[in-house]
């Protein structure tokens, strides 16, 4: 049940990110100066934390999507869906730990120094 909810919520969050991304990229044709201002705000530590959340949403949505495909198309999928869910969660945690430095490293250096 909760994996279903999380899958839908992450899908909606990713959709809204893509919508905002298309809008801010389109801004370069309308006003390059405003585009530069928007891009400058993306270099803040707060946005780095939001990017980490985006990575979390994309990773969970992708891994859980593979689990859903396995449940739907593998004859033994429904029987092992709970084990596959815990495997997805475990792999997601490992990958999110691995993403801390690449995504948040710049923000940490900006906040706490080199």
pLDDT at 111: 87
Question: Check: CATH 3.40.50.300 for 1-112?
Answer: no
Residue 20's nearest CA partner among 4, 42, 1, 44 is 42
Q: For the whole model, what pTM was predicted? A: 0.87
In this predicted model, what pLDDT tens digit does every residue of 62-78 receive, in sequence order? 999 999 999 999 999 89
Calculate mean pLDDT across residues 74-93: 95
In this predicted model, what pLDDT tens digit does every residue of 11-70 receive, in sequence order? 999 999 999 999 989 998 999 999 999 989 988 999 999 999 999 999 999 999 999 999
Compute the distance between CA of residue 48 and CA of residue 110 in angstroms, rounded to an integer. Answer: 11
pLDDT at 113: 80
| Burial (CB count <10 Å: 0-12, 13-18, 19+), residue 14 | middle
Residue 20's nearest CA partner among 46, 38, 45 is 38
Angle between helical axes of 81-112 and 45-73 (0-180°, round to 10): 170
- Residue 21, annotated as binding a ligand: no
């Amino acid at each position: 049940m909760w994996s279903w909810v999380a899958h839908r919520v992450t899908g909606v969050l990713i959709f809204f990110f893509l919508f905002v991304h298309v809008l801010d990229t389109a801004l370069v044709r309308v006003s390059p100066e405003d585009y530069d201002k928007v891009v400058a705000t993306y270099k803040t530590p707060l946005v780095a934390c939001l990017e980490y959340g985006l990575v979390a949403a994309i990773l969970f949505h992708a891994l859980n999507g593979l689990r859903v495909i396995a449940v739907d198309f593998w004859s033994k999928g429904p029987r092992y869906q709970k084990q596959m869910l815990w495997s997805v969660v475990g792999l997601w945690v490992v990958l999110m730990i691995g993403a801390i430095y690449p995504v948040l490293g710049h923000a940490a250096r900006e906040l706490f120094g080199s």
